[in-house]
Structure 1
Amino acid sequence: MTIAGSSCHKKVLDIEPKDLLSSDLAFSTPEKIEAATIAAYDGLQNAGFLSGRALIYVDLLAEDILDRNGFFTDLPRYNLLANSGIAANVWTAGYNAIAKANRAIAGITANSSKLTPAKASALIAECKFVRAVANFYLVNFFAQPYNFTADASHAGIPLITESFTFNDPGANKPRASVGEIYTSVISDLTVALADLPVTYSGYPDNVYHTKTRGTKAAASSLLSRVYLYKGDYANAGKYALDVIKGTYGSFALNAAVNGAFGAGNYQTNETVWSIPNNVDDNPNTNNALPQHYSPAGKADLMISPTFLNIATNKYFAADDKRRTLIISGTGALSSLSFTTKYTEVATRGDWAPIIRYAEVLLNYAEAQARTASGVDADAVAKLNIVRDRARASEPAYTTGSFANKDELIAAVLGERRIELAFEGHRFWDLMRVKASVTNKFDGDGVSLLPTQPFGAQKNIFPIPQLEIDKSKKVLQQNPGYE
């Protein structure tokens, strides 16, 4: 990520190695302290992590996209090996982001006299936001969902909250429980929420900073998602509603269904927080979202017939405007369907949409629907805000559209599947409600794979075998990968 402008205003994507050489140099001035903070975001932007690949992995494990070229090996078939490069890259990138965040927290704390108290707190809040994001994605990739055990006591990931030097034995930690990781994520986000800004100011491009760095709205929105995954629907609704009410700034859906995607559309009121890319700093040809998704790129990922067919995606009406975001390829690809959410093939500049306002609305709608005793009118209203933008001939929902709250919840989950398609949500949305993956096609688009049930061993990634070996068995492997 990049912070544009003068040498004092670097972007999250442009941190030079010389800024990270020594603590004395990296934290010697207020400008360098801020640059070290922004370097933590650069860890999230890693090609194997949140700038594209991680979002793809979450969707490939579900049923709505197909790996038509076999580029992602056995991941879509739930058959990775313990030495999988995919798993190793996610693990390394996530913990690199955590290490950068921890290092910056230590450096800011040791050099706080060079900053105002408010600035020091704000920068530490950004680091905790980054650490929370990395831990949340890592625990969902490498551990079973929160509700896999009644008390979330099952194995999670190592919890690293200190800054360690290279090969420090103190960093060789066993896996904390999933519950402990969620507690840490919630703690970091809650602290961050208190000290992060609503918007950034004092930069040549304030809106860019506001959409790509931690803000109160981003922290509150992510807290809503974390609580939703945890099954704490009261808090999920609370933190989503704080954003919806405008407590942390103004957000709204764009008029067009594609209004948050493509060059020029990344900094609108629909974007809460994204990982930015540009022509000079992007995940490269083998990792960028447009390269994988676009028929003008590598076209590895086609949309599954399961997603397109009303019989297997019943909330996706035939005249839903979001079907205009689906195109056919050309030539040999003319019979295949692709998304147009990511189109900057030449520059690989598509931003990774980590949190959009549409998700916040749907988080609230689901949480409110689940906590209400009957069919909740406010949940229906928030669901309609998202659905009405895309519907054509279908009537708007009313409370009378649903016989009971379970029908409303199903409609919210169905809307979530369509609206957030290809943005890295589907598989984890299925897992958090203990659903199975059904109607999943193999890469040929013809052969159906067996149903993949909730709790299956290979729904999660293996702990990289190299990490287990380096830890001298302090780390324990996930079942099914021994």
Structure 2
Amino acid sequence: MKHRFHYNILKKLPVIAISCGIAFTGCDKYLDGTQLPSGTIEAGDVYINDNMASTVVTGMFISISQNAGFGGGSGSNLGYVLGLYADELRSTLSGNFADIIFKNAITHSNSGYWSGYYGMLFTANAAIRGINNSTGNLVFKNQWLGEAYFLRALYHFYLVNMYGPVPIVLTPDYTVNNRLSRSPVADVYKQIIADLKLAQSMLPEDYTNGYGAATSSRVRPNKGAATALLARAYLYSGDWENAEIQATEVIGNNRYDTVALSNVFLANSKETIWAVAQRAPARAYEYGFYNGGMPATITPPQGPNSFSVFASASENLVHDFEPGDQRFTEWLRMTTILASGTNPAREVYFPAKYKSPANNVEYQVPLRLAEQYLIRAEARAMQNKGNAAGDLNVIRKRAGLAAVQPGNQTALLAAIAKEKRIELFAEYGHRFFDLKRTGKLDEVMKLVAPTKPATWESFMANWPIPPNDILSNPNLTPNPGYAQ
């Protein structure tokens, strides 16, 4: 049963159903959580001690590995879906789900993020209220609250970037939430920033586990993760000065460093600021999306789809790599599809940031240090600071490219945008979101659309809201352009 925005399934509170099944044998190892009880727990008893509070919060992180845009279903993974929707990926099989997204033909039935994020916002808000109201002795209260505020900010961040103005949900009370109107984008960012400041003030400097103990695992956010997401939120809201300040704090933190291209996505690499681990031992989802054991040469009638690979790197992404860029050989993989009948042989490139078929060698990495350098570069460029190109060149040097020093602000911002396109391709919607926030989406997509082939209209920048949620909330308005 889906968590719709109106939360009718939650009317029986104060019983909270702890999600995810809840007794996962691998959870302790991969999320550093507690032993999770199964079933449901009365809300008044949930937060009576650290073990119980940790159970709820750990369950939220388990949900992220399945939902929140980081799941293993190709239809729910943000990097995969938004890479197809924009200009990073190309579908390899006509008519399937990936092809529908690729051709920008989404409907509300393809837009499950709305219900997923609002369902998880309910859980985060219930945790925040329960932990704040707890009369128990919570030694690690700040950690549990900081993690919940971090997640609430994360969910609102993806909602506002996918749907435009959205309701800001700060309570688990469905009678309140079921009457909320959409808030302006600027107000959503104010809330995101407020939550991240709280998380920043509460989370420890070190990475900690579900027992509050220090750990080498980076799958729960620390202060650095809250700071990194805060830097992004300031950048997206146009607060260049604070974006620079927060990115500088992360860059100066000795817990983080750029690493060799081949090591960036390894579990707990020093470039990782925050990672998402699966609930049980498994290979990274992105390996399956773009590799799946597909050989370097394919003989028809087999094709990429024979290996459950339904998306390749787009031609214009491949074209945008500079000669000598080591990311081209390290993060792209070429497959030759042999000639068949009148069809000549062709070379197709696939994302290859995740290379290992082995379990838990690589984790999904939504926050990493390279982005912080590019955030600071853009923030400095927008302030006309002369040191902006230095941050850009840190990333170029790692890729084996020569330093650049564009002669004016326009050229510098264009160089930063191109570098971000190459560095963060197919990673959690960066390209789509950047095109939207910089006003370049229509320009780019109208050039790309005929090659899909598709038709691009400006309203497609914001995804459709489920009609049932609009019907159940008299104050919720739809995004224009979509059939309701």
- Interval containing the TM-score (normalised by the shorter chain): 0.7 to 0.9
Q: CA deviation at 1:196?
A: 0.7
Listed as ranges, the matches of 1:356-367 within 5 Å are 356-367=368-379
Equivalent-residue separation in structure 2 for 1:464 and 1:364 (angstroms): 37
Q: Secondary structure at the match of 2:476?
A: coil
Match of 2:425 among 421, 426, 430: 421
Q: CA deviation at 1:451?
A: 7.8
Structure 1 match to 2:100: 74
Equivalent-residue separation in structure 1 for 2:213 and 2:407 (angstroms): 49
Q: 1:157·1:176 contact (CA, 8 Å) conserved in 2? A: yes
Q: Deviations over 1:403-429 (max 9, x none)?
A: 212211111111111111111211111
Q: CA deviation at 1:206?
A: 4.0
- Decide whether aligned partners of structure 1 residues 72 and 390 sit closer, same or farther in structure 2, where only a CA change above 3 A counts: same
Match of 1:38 among 40, 51, 58: 58
Equivalent-residue separation in structure 2 for 1:204 and 1:163 (angstroms): 26
Match of 1:240 among 236, 247, 253: 247
- Decide whether aligned partners of structure 1 residues 31 and 257 sit closer, same or farther in structure 2, where only a CA change above 3 A counts: same
> Is 1:276 the counterpart of 2:288 in the alignment?
no
Structure 2 match to 1:257: 261
Q: Secondary structure at the match of 2:366?
A: strand
Structure 1 match to 2:341: none
Q: Secondary structure at the match of 2:69?
A: coil
- Decide whether aligned partners of structure 1 residues 237 and 15 sit closer, same or farther in structure 2, where only a CA change above 3 A counts: farther
Structure 1 match to 2:288: 291
Structure 1 residue identity aligned to 2:152? R
Structure 2 match to 1:171: 177
Q: 1:366·1:412 contact (CA, 8 Å) conserved in 2? A: yes
Equivalent-residue separation in structure 2 for 1:95 and 1:281 (angstroms): 27
- Decide whether aligned partners of structure 1 residues 359 and 125 sit closer, same or farther in structure 2, where only a CA change above 3 A counts: same
Q: 1:279·1:349 contact (CA, 8 Å) conserved in 2? A: no
> Is 1:181 the counterpart of 2:192 in the alignment?
no
Structure 2 match to 1:28: 48
Structure 2 residue identity aligned to 1:200? Y
Equivalent-residue separation in structure 1 for 2:379 and 2:472 (angstroms): 42
- Decide whether aligned partners of structure 1 residues 207 and 30 sit closer, same or farther in structure 2, where only a CA change above 3 A counts: closer
Structure 2 match to 1:50: 70
Structure 1 match to 2:298: none
Q: Secondary structure at the match of 1:121?
A: helix
Structure 2 match to 1:11: 31
Q: CA deviation at 1:430?
A: 1.1
Equivalent-residue separation in structure 1 for 2:468 and 2:477 (angstroms): 12
Equivalent-residue separation in structure 1 for 2:84 and 2:26 (angstroms): 41
Structure 2 match to 1:99: 122
Structure 1 residue identity aligned to 2:102? P
Unaligned residue ranges in structure 1 (runs of 5+):
144-155
Equivalent-residue separation in structure 1 for 2:35 and 2:335 (angstroms): 38
Q: 1:30·1:115 contact (CA, 8 Å) conserved in 2? A: yes
Q: Deviations over 1:11-61 (max 9, x none)?
A: 378885626532244223321111212222233223462346122222222
Equivalent-residue separation in structure 2 for 1:46 and 1:12 (angstroms): 17
- Decide whether aligned partners of structure 1 residues 13 and 31 sit closer, same or farther in structure 2, where only a CA change above 3 A counts: closer
Q: Secondary structure at the match of 1:258?
A: helix
Structure 1 match to 2:302: none
Q: Deviations over 1:333-379 (max 9, x none)?
A: 96211111123457587522101100001100111111026xx1x21
Structure 2 match to 1:381: 390
- Decide whether aligned partners of structure 1 residues 331 and 404 sit closer, same or farther in structure 2, where only a CA change above 3 A counts: closer
Equivalent-residue separation in structure 2 for 1:161 and 1:479 (angstroms): 26
Q: Deviations over 1:260-282 (max 9, x none)?
A: 12xxx220110001111265478
Structure 2 match to 1:115: 138
Q: 1:278·1:347 contact (CA, 8 Å) conserved in 2? A: no
Q: Deviations over 1:122-160 (max 9, x none)?
A: 3211110010001100111111xxxxxxxxxxxx11211
- Decide whether aligned partners of structure 1 residues 407 and 207 sit closer, same or farther in structure 2, where only a CA change above 3 A counts: farther
Structure 2 residue identity aligned to 1:189? L
Structure 2 match to 1:267: 268
Equivalent-residue separation in structure 1 for 2:448 and 2:270 (angstroms): 36
Moved more, 21-30 or 176-185: 21-30
Q: CA deviation at 1:103?
A: 1.2
Size of the alignment, in residue pairs?
432
Q: Secondary structure at the match of 1:95?
A: helix
- Decide whether aligned partners of structure 1 residues 71 and 4 sit closer, same or farther in structure 2, where only a CA change above 3 A counts: closer
Structure 2 residue identity aligned to 1:470? S
Equivalent-residue separation in structure 2 for 1:38 and 1:102 (angstroms): 15
Equivalent-residue separation in structure 1 for 2:26 and 2:332 (angstroms): 41
Equivalent-residue separation in structure 1 for 2:30 and 2:39 (angstroms): 11
Q: Secondary structure at the match of 2:228?
A: helix
> Is 1:317 the counterpart of 2:322 in the alignment?
yes
Equivalent-residue separation in structure 2 for 1:477 and 1:96 (angstroms): 19
Equivalent-residue separation in structure 1 for 2:283 and 2:160 (angstroms): 25
> Is 1:193 the counterpart of 2:200 in the alignment?
yes
Structure 2 residue identity aligned to 1:126? E
Q: CA deviation at 1:193?
A: 0.7
Q: CA deviation at 1:6?
A: 11
Structure 1 residue identity aligned to 2:468? L
> Is 1:474 the counterpart of 2:483 in the alignment?
no
Equivalent-residue separation in structure 2 for 1:56 and 1:9 (angstroms): 27
Unaligned residue ranges in structure 2 (runs of 5+):
1-19, 294-306, 339-344
Scaled by the length of structure 2, the TM-score of the pair is 0.81
Equivalent-residue separation in structure 2 for 1:14 and 1:416 (angstroms): 38
Listed as ranges, the matches of 1:303-452 within 5 Å are 303-309=313-319, 313=320, 316-324=321-329, 325-329=331-335, 331=337, 335-345=347-357, 347=359, 350-372=362-384, 376=386, 378-391=387-400, 394-397=401-404, 401-424=405-428, 425-435=430-440, 436-438=443-445, 447-449=451-453, 452=456
Q: Secondary structure at the match of 1:243?
A: helix
Identity of aligned residues (%): 26
Structure 2 match to 1:134: 155
Equivalent-residue separation in structure 2 for 1:300 and 1:274 (angstroms): 25
Q: Secondary structure at the match of 1:329?
A: strand
Q: 1:278·1:349 contact (CA, 8 Å) conserved in 2? A: no
Match of 2:310 among 300, 317, 324: 300
